[in-house]
Amino acid sequence: MARTYAPCGWLVERTVSWYDEETGDGEGYDVVEECGAAAVYTDRGFTCDAGHSHVTAEVRWNEGWDYAEDDGEALRLSRAGTEPRDFVTGGTYRGSLEAVYGTATAAALDTLDPPF
Ligand SMILES: [Zn+2]
Domain that holds residue 105: 56-116
Three-class secondary structure of residue 47 per DSSP: strand
d(CA 104, CA 98): 8
Same domain for 63 and 108: yes
**How far does residue 7's CA lie from ligand 1's centre (Å)?**
8
**How far does residue 100's CA lie from ligand 1's centre (Å)?**
27
Same domain for 113 and 60: yes
Burial readout 23-46 (b: 16 or more C-beta within 10 A, e: otherwise) = eeeeeeeeeeeebeeebebeebbb
Give residues with Cβ within 8 angstroms of 11, minimum separation 6: 32, 33, 34, 35
Same domain for 90 and 72: yes
Q: In this predicted model, what pLDDT tens digit does every residue of 22-79 receive, in sequence order?
A: 999 999 999 999 999 999 999 999 999 998 888 999 999 999 999 999 988 998 998 8
Same domain for 85 and 50: no
Give residues with Cβ within 8 angstroms of 63, minimum separation 6: 115
Same domain for 84 and 35: no
Number of domains in the chain: 2
For the segment 94-106, the average pLDDT, to the nearest whole number, is 68
**How far does residue 92's CA lie from ligand 1's centre (Å)?**
18
**How far does residue 17's CA lie from ligand 1's centre (Å)?**
22
Same domain for 28 and 71: no
* pLDDT reported for residue 116: 39
d(CA 86, CA 74): 9
Dihedral angle sign, alpha carbons of residues 88, 91, 94, 97: positive
Q: In this predicted model, what pLDDT tens digit does every residue of 74-88 receive, in sequence order?
A: 989 988 999 999 887
